[in-house]
């Protein structure tokens, strides 16, 4: 059987198994049986040799214990008398065990100096507890525990409070005492680490660690130089006596290198160029004055810095530094108790927050178990949710400056009822593997953008692009001054900006889960299986049907895993408020997927409104050319909504928010220009950036190259982005610059001259450049600029460049290219005139190159002329278009003034009140006012209907107007007048 086996073949195991099955087990196995001690030991030795047989192929592994049995040679084997009985062997084993235990007891008294600090502290605590009964803790800064302090100083990443140590030791200078700690450190590495600590202590005391070596010109002046240095140290008031003694002990005055004969070899050559005594004195005087000026400027900067940062020394104030809600560069300084009371008070006043009787540890374990049950074992391990991980978020607040500062008084000045004057933010900083959570968040965002985009803008730059495109694509109806819904008079262009207060806390997690389930179900029904997300900081991802991919630039996530993480993040409802635990009924602000959950809800509502044509018709919002995008410019960024249209009035746009969203939005009462995010929308649909205050930092806070990009960015943002920028503002801004930037007057002079005299800026640009092409280009294409509101900072700063930069560069390029072309042609012509004899000897290759270059120049000149004609023609067409619009506006105003007198007058209240209603009229009125009229016999005349409408409440009027498809204004009187007018038309009541 053994001869037929082939272990080198893959089928050897199967063959071995089949052949082994032919024989019974008792024919294969064997048992070693022996009797007596010698036979037993021989069998054991044989078994040990077989089990520890060395490898016959290859080398013995290094770093491992050798399993080969080594026996001494025969000439070294000395037989020893042994007790062959079993009892003797047991006795020897017991003796060896007792000896080992005795040695273990002796080894317990270890040298504390050769063990780590934690073990030494534990041994010291045990010894003190056994001697005195004091349990601890022990003060390592106490001189009695100098040995522990020495071990702590040589511990890696140890933090030492030198001020406390000096107070405990009762000395103002600890360097000699710290040097004495070397007796507790026997190892060289420990002493080297102590030297580092001594250097840190010297840096803390602002004293030198090494020797102060001073070179004297000769041996006679060494004593005088040392005496001067000692006198200067004694006169220093900031050092104590011990520190002065230490400094004087570190001084080493050495004689400098003396001159030798070789130093005088080049005397003849350098004597003529050598400085005289007066010139040397003048150079020394100039250098001294320059150093004094620099020192004075540094002192002024130091004083300004100390005055500016006097209130920023939070470690001395022992206060709470609370960030501002809008301005991230400023903060509020409050007492700790005031901040805690403020946080607890607004948590108690909030209707969506409730305190629960849980401890923080129990709430954390409960939340962790809930998350693990939702995610499953594999996904929980991928997200790092193991036992003992802290996942309970904590709450901190940011103050809203508009509620606590009214311009002259710091205090709560908010007049809104039940307004949240602080923003309660939940921090998830302690969650593990937040990068993986970000991948899942981006995956869900990719699905939402692909299947349910709605009207959402995914960033400030995207909001600018969508707002500009939406305003450009708006259609103008035949009568742009009349609302298509309520037939009321309105402006040519109407827009509103709305904001949802406490938006996250009003969205229930169940609504977010339902919306997310709808979106993920739609993705699965289409056939998608997952999402691929890039492993970069920049957001990028796409839908995919293939989940099997190696580790590369993309992370592939399945739909089930994304929905599981989304539901887990949305379901987090427990947070810690200090030592208490609160429960939320909405989405937490600052959650890892709170923004995505709110976008799920709002995008689904917006998609339902955008795709449901019948719902818009029932509400009275008709679309132009069957396209809602051409009727209303609808852009939303998180909870800020912009609505702009030529078709509806402002009241109808307010009603549009009630029809689209279930959440309550507060409409801003501002008129044009409207401020939306960091953009300003005018009545002519012109989009400009929001004005920003130019804040120039003090000189000590900036470098030499900081002022140029700062001012150029401010000019680009404020001066060139507005066609009607007043020059008085420019001069007022420039008048403040010299006082603020006192150390940079020379480079600012030229820039201020350009600001105060912009007419010169129109004539020249740069080094002889021409600005004419840019003026022609900007007159046509400025309103079509590609300004990106999210990343706009400065020309040389970080962020996306605007079309102003591109247009200016293009215009400068065209002007410079044409001038260079003319200059090159003139130079070429003069070269031909001066060197006519040399041109006759040019080769055919040179002629071909010259002709090719001249044709290229001609082509560029033709392109320049065509571009110039095109820009001039576009300017003429734009001027004609503007004149036609003005003529149309004048005709429309005249037509309105002539038709205003032909409208029939409404019936007077005195005549209408005497009209008696018929039976069908009473039944129709009862049907319309079903909630207000209970008995049909109580309504006999028109005056009864007027009395019933006057007694109706605002909510009742709103329901009746919505059921009839009428406009729903905010004022109750307007709702009553609209309902009475509708009933007059329905009942055909005439004066």
| 208-239 per-position pLDDT tens digit | 888 888 888 778 888 888 888 999 899 988 88
CA distance 706 to 526: 54
Is pLDDT at 3 greater than 90 in this prediction? no
Contact 199, 224 (CB under 8 A): no
Cβ–Cβ under 8 Å, residues 555 and 429: no
Lowest mean pLDDT segment, chosen from 169-173, 292-296, 761-765, 825-829: 761-765
DSSP result, 367-402: HHHHHHHHH-HHHHHHTT--TT-----EEEEEE-HH
Beta-sheet pairing, 580-584 with 554-558 = unpaired
Residue of higher predicted confidence among 879 and 368: 368
pLDDT at 349: 86
Within a 13 Å sphere around the CA of 28, how many CA atoms are in the beta-carbon half? 11
Q: Which range (133-142, 724-733, 773-782) has the least confidence?
A: 773-782
Q: Decide: 598 and 507 in contact? Cβ < 8 Å.
A: yes
CA distances 779 to 151, 787, 872, Å, are: 76, 16, 9
Distance of alpha carbon 381 from alpha carbon 390, whole angstroms? 15
Alpha carbon distances (Å) from 740 to 294, 698, 702 = 19, 7, 12
> Is 822 in a helix, a strand, or coil?
helix
Sign of the Cα torsion 83, 88, 90, 91 reads negative
361 has pLDDT over 90:
yes
Secondary element (H or E) of residue 213:
strand 212-216
Alpha-carbon gap, residue 762 to 483, rounded angstroms: 45
Q: Are strands 674-676 and 679-681 parallel, antiparallel or unpaired?
A: antiparallel
Q: What CA–CA distance (Å, rounded) separates 266 from 691? A: 68
Cα–Cα nearest to 480, from 471, 466, 462, 493: 493
CB 421 within 8 A of CB 346: yes
The answer to whether 660 and 609 have CB atoms below 8 angstroms apart is: yes
Residue that is written with structure tokens 């409802």 in the block: 573
Which residues touch 160 (CB under 8 Å, ≥6 apart)? 152, 153, 197, 200
pLDDT of residue 818: 46
Q: Report the largest interatomic distance among the alpha carbons of the chain, rounded to a whole angstrom.
A: 144
Q: Does 682 score more than 60 pLDDT? A: yes
Q: Phi and psi (nearest 5°) for 458?
A: -95, 25
Whether the CB-CB separation of 641 and 498 falls below 8 Å is answered with yes
Residues in a beta bridge with 456: 636
Neighbours of 968 (CB within 10 A): 22
Residue located via tokens 């070596």: 213
**640: left (phi > 0), else alpha (psi -120 to 50), else beta?**
beta
| pLDDT over 70 (residue 888) | no
pLDDT tens column, 732-784:
444 444 444 444 444 454 455 445 444 434 333 333 334 333 333 333 333 33
Helix or strand holding residue 979 (H, E):
helix 972-987
Q: What is the pLDDT of residue 802?
A: 36
Whether omega before 423 lies within 30 degrees of 0, making that bond cis, reads: no
Sign of CA dihedral 764, 770, 776, 777: negative
What secondary structure does DSSP assign to 539-599, as a single string?
Answer: --EEEES-----SSSEEEEEHHHHHHHHHHHHT--EEEETTEEEEESSPPTT-TTHHHHHH
How far is it, in rounded angstroms, from Cα 596 to Cα 616?
A: 27
Inter-residue contact 683 to 490 (CB < 8 Å): no
First-last CA distance in the chain: 123
Assign 984 to helix, strand or coil.
Answer: helix
CB 472 within 8 A of CB 637: no
118-127: Cβ within 8 A, 24+ apart:
120/147, 120/148, 120/151, 121/148, 124/148
Whole-number pLDDT of residue 649: 92
Between the ranges 249-263, 294-308, 479-493, 942-956, where is the mean pLDDT highest?
479-493
Question: Which band of pLDDT confidence, cut at 50, 70 and 90, is reported for residue 604?
Answer: very high
pTM score, whole prediction = 0.51
Helix, strand, coil share (%) of the chain residues, nearest 5: 55, 10, 35
Q: Give backbone dihedrals phi and psi of 934, rounded to 5 degrees, phi first.
A: -95, -35
Give kind and range of the element (H or E) at residue 251: strand 251-255
* pLDDT band (50, 70, 90) for residue 653: very high
643 pLDDT exceeds 80?
Answer: yes
Whether 930 and 948 have beta carbons less than 8 Å apart is answered as no
CA-to-CA distance for 579 and 762, rounded, in angstroms? 65
Q: Is the pLDDT of residue 698 over 80?
A: no
Residue 723 phi, psi dihedral angles, 5° rounding? -80, -20
Tell me the two tokens of residue 7: 């272990």
- Beta-bridge partners for 676: 679
- Residue 371 half-sphere exposure toward CB, CA atoms < 13 A: 28
Q: What is the mean pLDDT of residues 283-312?
A: 86
Q: What SS3 state is found at 770?
A: strand
Question: pLDDT value at position 715?
Answer: 65
When pLDDT is cut at 50, 70 and 90, the band that residue 530 belongs to is: very high
Closest CA to 677 of 358, 459, 449, 391: 459
> How many residues are recorded in the chain?
991
Token pair of 401, please?
Answer: 């400056």
- How much is the pLDDT for 784? 37
Q: pLDDT tens-digit profile of 316-359?
A: 667 888 888 888 778 888 888 888 888 888 888 888 899 999 99
Which residues, including other chains, have CB under 8 Å from residue 980's CB and lie 6 or more apart?
945, 946, 949
Q: What's 916's DSSP letter?
A: B
Cβ atoms of residues 598 and 512 within 8 Å: yes
Q: What is the pLDDT of residues 64-123, one digit of tens each?
A: 566 666 676 766 666 655 555 666 777 778 788 877 776 655 545 555 556 788 888 888
Strand order in the sheet with 687-689: 674-676, 679-681, 687-689
Span of 21-30, 487-496, 730-739, 810-819 with lowest mean pLDDT: 810-819
Q: Tell me the chain's radius of gyration from C-alpha atoms.
A: 45
CB-CB neighbours of 509 under 10 Å: 20
């Amino acid at each position: 059987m053994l001869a037929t086996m082939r272990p080198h073949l893959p089928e050897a195991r199967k063959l071995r198994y089949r052949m082994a099955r032919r024989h019974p087990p008792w024919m294969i196995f064997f048992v070693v049986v022996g009797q007596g001690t010698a036979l037993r030991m021989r069998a054991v030795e044989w078994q040990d040799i077989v089990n520890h047989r060395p490898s016959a192929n290859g080398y013995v592994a290094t770093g491992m214990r050798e399993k080969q049995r080594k026996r001494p040679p025969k000439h070294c084997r000395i037989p020893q008398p042994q007790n062959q009985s079993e009892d003797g062997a047991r006795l020897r084993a017991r003796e060896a065990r007792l000896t080992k235990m005795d040695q273990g007891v002796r080894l317990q008294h270890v040298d504390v100096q050769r063990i780590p600090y934690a073990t030494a502290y534990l041994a010291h605590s045990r010894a003190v507890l056994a001697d005195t009964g004091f349990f601890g803790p022990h003060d390592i800064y106490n001189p009695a525990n100098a040995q522990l302090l020495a071990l702590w100083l040589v511990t890696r990443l140890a933090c030492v409070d030198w001020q406390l140590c000096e107070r405990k030791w009762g000395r103002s200078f600890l360097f000699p005492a710290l040097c004495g700690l070397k007796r507790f450190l026997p190892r060289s590495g420990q002493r080297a680490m102590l030297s580092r600590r001594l250097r840190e202590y010297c840096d803390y005391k602002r004293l030198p660690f090494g020797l102060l070596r001073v070179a004297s010109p000769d041996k006679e002046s060494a004593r005088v130089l040392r005496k001067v240095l000692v006198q200067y140290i004694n006169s220093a008031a900031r050092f104590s006596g011990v520190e002065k003694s230490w400094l004087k002990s570190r001084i080493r005055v050495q004689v400098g290198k003396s001159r030798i004969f070789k130093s005088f070899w080049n005397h003849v050559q350098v004597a003529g160029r050598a400085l005289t005594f007066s010139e040397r004195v003048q150079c020394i005087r100039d250098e001294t004055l320059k150093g004094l000026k620099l020192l004075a400027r540094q002192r002024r900067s130091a004083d300004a810095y100390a005055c500016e940062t006097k209130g920023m020394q939070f470690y001395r104030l022992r206060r709470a530094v609370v960030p501002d809600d809008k301005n991230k560069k400023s903060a509020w300084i409050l007492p700790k108790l005031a901040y805690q009371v403020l946080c607890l008070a607004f948590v108690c006043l909030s209707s969506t927050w409730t305190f629960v009787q849980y401890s923080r540890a129990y709430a954390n374990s409960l939340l962790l178990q809930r998350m693990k049950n939702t995610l499953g074992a594999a996904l929980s391990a991928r997200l790092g949710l193991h036992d003992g991980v802290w996942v309970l978020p904590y709450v901190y607040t940011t103050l809203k400056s508009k509620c606590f500062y009214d311009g002259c008084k710091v205090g709560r000045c908010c007049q809104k009822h039940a307004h949240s004057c602080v923003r309660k933010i939940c921090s998830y900083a302690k969650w593990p593997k937040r990068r993986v959570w970000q991948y899942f968040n981006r995956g869900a965002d990719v699905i939402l953008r692909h299947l349910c985009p709605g009207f959402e803008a995914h960033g400030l730059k995207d909001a600018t692009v969508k707002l500009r495109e939406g305003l450009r694509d708006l259609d103008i109806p035949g009568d742009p001054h009349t609302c298509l819904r309520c037939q009321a008079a309105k402006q040519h262009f109407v827009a509103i900006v709305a904001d949802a207060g406490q938006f996250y806390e009003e969205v229930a997690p169940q609504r977010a889960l339902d919306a997310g389930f709808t979106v993920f179900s739609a993705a699965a029904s289409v056939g998608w299986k997952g999402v691929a997300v890039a492993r970069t900081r920049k957001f990028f991802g796409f839908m995919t049907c293939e989940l099997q991919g190696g580790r590369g630039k993309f992370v592939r996530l399945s739909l089930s895993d994304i929905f599981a993480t989304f539901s887990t993040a949305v379901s987090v409802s427990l947070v810690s408020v200090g030592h208490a635990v609160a429960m939320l009924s909405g989405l937490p602000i600052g959650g890892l997927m709170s923004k995505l959950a709110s976008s799920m809800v709002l995008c689904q509502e917006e998609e339902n409104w955008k795709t449901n044509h019948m719902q818009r018709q029932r509400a009275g919002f008709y679309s132009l050319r069957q396209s809602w995008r051409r009727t209303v410019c609808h852009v939303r960024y998180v909870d800020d909504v912009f609505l702009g249209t030529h078709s509806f009035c402002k009241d109808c746009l307010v009603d549009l928010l009630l029809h689209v969203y279930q959440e309550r939005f507060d409409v801003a009462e501002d008129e044009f220009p409207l401020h939306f995010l960091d953009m300003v929308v005018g009545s002519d649909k012109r989009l400009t950036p929001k004005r920003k205050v130019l804040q120039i930092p003090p000189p000590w806070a900036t470098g030499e190259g900081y002022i140029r990009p700062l001012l150029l960015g401010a000019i680009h943002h404020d001066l060139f982005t507005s066609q009607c920028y007043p020059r008085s503002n420019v001069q007022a801004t420039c008048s403040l610059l010299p006082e603020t930037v006192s150390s940079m007057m020379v480079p600012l002079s030229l820039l201020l001259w350009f600001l105060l005299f912009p007419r010169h800026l129109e004539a020249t640009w740069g080094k002889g450049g021409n600005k004419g092409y840019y003026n022609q280009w900007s007159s046509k294409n400025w309103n079509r600029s590609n300004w990106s509101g999210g990343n706009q900072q400065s020309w040389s700063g970080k962020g996306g460049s605007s079309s102003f930069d591109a247009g200016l560069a293009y215009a400068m390029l065209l002007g410079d290219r044409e001038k260079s072309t003319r200059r090159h042609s003139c130079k070429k012509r003069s070269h031909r005139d001066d060197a006519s004899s040399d041109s006759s000897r040019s080769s055919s290759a040179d002629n071909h190159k010259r002709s090719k270059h001249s044709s290229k120049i001609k082509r560029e000149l033709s392109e320049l002329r065509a571009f110039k004609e095109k820009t001039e023609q576009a300017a003429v067409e734009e001027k004609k278009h503007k004149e036609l619009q003005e003529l149309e506006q004048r005709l429309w105003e005249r037509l309105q003034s002539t038709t205003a007198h032909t409208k029939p007058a409404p019936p007077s209240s005195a005549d209408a009140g005497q009209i008696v209603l018929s039976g069908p009229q009473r039944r129709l009125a009862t049907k319309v006012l079903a909630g207000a009229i209970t008995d049909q016999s109580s309504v006999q005349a028109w005056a009864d209907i007027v009395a019933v409408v006057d007694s109706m409440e605002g909510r009742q009027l709103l329901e009746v107007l919505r059921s009839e498809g009428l406009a729903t204004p905010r004022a109750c009187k307007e709702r009553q007048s609209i309902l009475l007018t509708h009933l007059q038309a329905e009942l055909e009541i005439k004066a």
